Amino acid sequence: MNITSETRVLGIFGDPVRHSLSPVMQNAALQRAGIDAVYLPFRVRSEELAGAVQSLRALNLWGVNVTIPHKEQVLPYLDALDPLAARIGAVNTIVNRDGLLNGFNTDAPGLLASLAEDLAFLPVGRRVLLLGAGGATRAALVALAEAGAVWIGVANRTRVRGEQLVENFRGIFPGTEFAALGLSTAELAGVFPAVDLVINSTSLGLHGEGFDVLPWHRLAPRAVVLDMVYSADTTPLVAMAREHGHRAADGLGMLVGQGEEAFALWTGRRPEPGLMKMVLRDWLGSVTQLDRK
């Protein structure tokens, strides 16, 4: 990589950020496209966020991704919000256009792209159950409702959080029925037979944990499962879903999907199809091999 005074700078703001795979796939896509730019990770603490965002203007950075814990806190420091980002209430991509900072949310289209590519699933007319009630759930809910899901359930250990989440959107999406549930076997068993898609939008499984409350025997054979968590091999939820005969995918496709959308926003070009996913699979595989030695 030949870095000069003309090289554009992209990056990701987060805390922590050293675990991020975005630099791996974004730099590979930039190099393959012959774009003179580099993508770097920046650890930004919450108290430093305002200054970090201002630095985009001062240093003429092309743009950045925004990850935990800044996706919601960054909104007041931006000049404009894409309507989808405003509806979700969170930004994961900032584009610097001549000093004006524009906020976007590519998590939502990234989710839909993963569902279509990895599971051949289209939300229109379908019933979806979301496990969790955090920021990732909010982005998924908006994406699915806008794509035509007729029923969306939010199951969370703290039921009131799910109730608050669905209440925020009942008036916005009148064509979608919403429900809040507790994350218990009994309540899930009541809705599982009619569900077409189950999505884990929590971090559960990141360290090998499994969902022990899911009543798999009640889930219809047609139902598919998406785990937003990803790993080099497979996540416990994906493995369990496949054991019970369901098509399932982990979160790598969503990570790639949101990254491809961000790349297009910054550069005005689409990355080479399949490149980001291939690079990440190879990278994760190499890390796993090193861990086993």
In the sheet where 80-81 sits, what is the strand order? Answer: 37-43, 8-14, 63-66, 93-97, 100-104, 80-81
Report in angstroms the alpha-carbon separations of 293 from 206, 287, 288.
22, 10, 9
**Angle, in degrees to the nearest 10, between helices 22-33 and 252-267:** 50
Among 12, 29, 52, 71, the one annotated catalytic: 71
Q: Which two tokens stand for residue 174?
A: 């009148």
Q: Which of 54, 46, 59 is nearest to 17 (CA)?
A: 46
CA distance 250 to 97: 34
Examine the residue annotation and report whether 71 is marked as an active-site residue of this protein. Answer: yes
Catalytic residues: 71
